[in-house]
A = this chain, B = another copy of it.
């Protein structure tokens, strides 16, 4: 699906800035930071503002068009793939890797919270870093 339709489907008015940011997320599954998105897009869009990137990413998150990952403690990271999957971060190199969820977690919610979203974050050492260390 293209970025324009993706925005409309989530009730977001598709301005040109929102389209290129959404498009970036849909075509780069690298869990980029705001800064990475801004730097990548400003080459072709010199007038793009960093504030717009921040505003847009918050909007995408609020409307459910993208995920805000807090697995990396340094920066917020964003994921255009909102289907159910877990995220692994290598504490050695910082790389974030998608992992499929075979069995989703089941939690005890006696207190009666309304659950809107569940994220699974995994920390460890990736295969490349294990090789380098040994």
Contact = CB atoms under 8 A, between A and B. Distances in A.
A3 B70 CA distance: 29
A113 interface: yes
Contacts of A105: 86, 101, 103-105, 120
Interface in A98-121: 99-109, 111-121
Interface in A55-88: 68, 70-73, 76, 86, 88
A83 to B, nearest CB: 14
Interface stretch (A9-17, A25-33, A123-131): A123-131
Given A99-B109, A124-B114, A124-B117, A76 B76 contact: no
A90 interface: yes
Contacts of A108: 99-102
